[in-house]
């Protein structure tokens, strides 16, 4: 089964993954994937995602192959994504792909006979990071239902907050989308939340919302996504959390 979008998960599947994650956290090394090979195809810079996938595969007894740049693959010579996937699937049992363009992981899945995991697709989604964040929230708070959660910062280009919003739609939470007007959550995601009858509010007023939040998930303003430096400069320092701000939060407030 491919992992391409957070939209594809049901609540039952998410809860199952979280429970399995808890069990595996207590047994970090196993031979579960002893005879398996993961191909990590990273067309975009990555530290945490690439190393976390590689570490997980190695801890489970598997092996890792792959590359960290388009420039060291045959794509530089004109090979298509389809041909790359058809080739790599002969050497591996699962493929993790990160690409600067949206939709490449889903396209790769059409040509692959083995599972594809989306390790980040442009500014669209990052489903595995969102699953990990949901796991962390459950571990820290003991529940997800009933929480007041704020997503703050770059909600237009931040792919992890897109995936988180999709996952949150499976739970009974109050979601606050905090961003400058120019970096609001994309309509296709807010439309999804409306269709799911989820309780959410869009606002630019960061400090007014802070005292009611259980969780604040802050994202950086991504300079590399802006076409004009001037537009980036306008919003880069809009949301800065200070120690004084933290004095106005709930006792069990969590910052992510």
Q: Select from 78, 102, 121 the last residue of a domain.
A: 121
- For the chain, the first-to-last Cα distance in angstroms comes to 29
| 12 inside domain | no
Predicted pLDDT of residue 229: 75
Report DSSP state, residue 185.
P
pLDDT at 127: 97
Same-domain pairing of 151 and 231: yes
Specify whether the CB–CB gap between 61 and 30 falls below 8 A: yes
Is 14 a domain residue? Answer: no
Would you state the pLDDT for residue 70? 62
Regarding whether 131 and 104 lie in a shared domain, the answer is no
Q: Could you confirm whether 22 is annotated as catalytic?
A: no
User: What's phi and psi for 217, nearest 5 deg?
Assistant: -110, 110
Q: Is 126 a residue of the active site?
A: yes
Picking from 62, 96, 121, the residue at the C-terminal end of a domain is 121
Range of the domain at 84: 31-121
pLDDT of residue 185: 96
> Does the residue 161 lie in any domain?
yes
Tell me which of 106, 121, 136 is where a domain ends: 121
What's the burial of 160, exposed, middle or buried (CB within 10 Å: 0-12/13-18/19+)?
Answer: buried
Total domains present in the chain: 2
| Annotated catalytic residue 143 | no
Q: What is the pLDDT of residue 79?
A: 78
Residue bearing tokens 């709930």: 250
For residue 100, how many C-alpha atoms fall within 13 Å in the half-sphere facing its CB?
A: 8
Nearest to 149 by CA among 253, 9, 248, 8: 253
- Count CB neighbours of 46 within 10 A: 16
Q: Residue 42 forms beta bridges with which residues?
A: 98
Residues 194, 95: one domain?
no
Q: What is the pTM of this model?
A: 0.91
pLDDT tens, position by position, for the chain (256 residues)?
899 999 999 999 999 999 999 988 888 788 899 999 999 999 888 889 999 999 999 999 999 999 876 665 666 667 788 999 999 999 999 999 999 888 999 999 999 999 999 999 988 999 999 999 999 999 999 999 999 999 999 999 999 999 999 999 999 999 999 999 989 999 999 999 999 999 999 999 989 999 999 999 999 887 776 777 777 777 777 888 999 999 999 999 999 9
Q: Which of 223, 226, 227, 183 is nearest to 202 (CA)?
A: 183
- 194 and 117 in a common domain: no
**Residue 177 confidence (pLDDT):** 98
- Upper half-sphere CA count for residue 110 (Cβ side, 13 Å): 6
The whole-number pLDDT of residue 74 equals 63
Judge whether 7 counts as a catalytic residue.
Answer: no
For residue 65, the number of C-alpha atoms closer than 13 Å in the C-beta half-sphere is: 13
- The CATH number of residue 169's host domain is 3.40.50.1370
The region that residue 2 occupies, defined by phi over 0 for left and psi between -120 and 50 for alpha, beta otherwise, is beta
Catalytic hit among 2, 126, 156, 159 = 126
Q: Which helix (DSSP H) or strand (DSSP E) does residue 176 occupy? A: strand 174-178
The answer on 192 and 149 residing in a single domain is: yes
Interhelix angle for 81-88 vs 104-111, to 10°?
A: 50
2 is catalytic: no
The answer to whether position 112 is within a domain reads yes
- Which member of 98, 156, 159, 162 is catalytic? 98
Catalytic hit among 2, 49, 50, 156:
49
CA–CA separation, 24 and 30 (whole Å): 9
Q: Which residue in the list 77, 188, 243, 244 is annotated as catalytic?
A: 77
Q: Domain check: are 239 and 171 in the same one?
A: yes
Judge whether 10 lies within some domain.
no
Q: Which residues contact 41 (CB under 8 A, 6 or more apart)?
A: 66, 67, 73, 84, 88, 95, 96, 97, 98
Q: How far apart are CA 218 and CA 239, in angstroms?
A: 9
Q: Is residue 138 part of a domain?
A: yes
* Cα 24 to Cα 39, 59, 113, 116, distances in angstroms: 22, 10, 27, 22
Which of helix, strand or coil describes residue 133? helix
């Amino acid at each position: 089964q491919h992992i391409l979008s957070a939209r594809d998960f049901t609540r039952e599947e998410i809860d199952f993954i979280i429970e399995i994650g808890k069990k595996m956290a207590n047994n970090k090394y196993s031979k579960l994937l002893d005879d398996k090979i993961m191909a990590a195809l990273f067309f975009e810079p990555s530290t945490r995602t690439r190393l976390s996938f590689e570490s997980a595969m190695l801890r489970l007894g598997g092996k890792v192959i792959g590359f960290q740049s388009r420039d060291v693959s045959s794509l530089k010579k004109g090979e298509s994504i389809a041909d790359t996937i058809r080739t790599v699937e002969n050497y591996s049992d699962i493929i993790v792909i990160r690409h600067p363009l949206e939709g490449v992981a889903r396209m790769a899945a059409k040509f692959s006979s083995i599972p594809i995991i989306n390790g980040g697709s442009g500014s669209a989604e990052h489903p595995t990071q969102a699953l990990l964040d949901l796991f962390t929230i459950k571990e820290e708070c003991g529940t997800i239902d009933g929480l007041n959660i704020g997503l703050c910062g770059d909600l237009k280009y931040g792919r992890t907050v897109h995936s988180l919003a999709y996952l949150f739609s499976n739970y009974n939470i109050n979601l606050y989308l905090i961003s400058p007007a120019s970096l609001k959550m994309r309509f296709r995601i807010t439309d999804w939340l409306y269709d799911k009858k989820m309780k959410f509010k869009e606002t630019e007023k960061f400090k007014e919302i802070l005292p009611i939040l259980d969780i604040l998930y802050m994202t950086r303003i991504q300079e590399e996504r802006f076409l004009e430096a001037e537009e980036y400069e306008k919003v880069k320092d809009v949301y800065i959390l200070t120690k004084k701000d933290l004095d106005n939060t709930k006792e069990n407030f969590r910052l992510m």
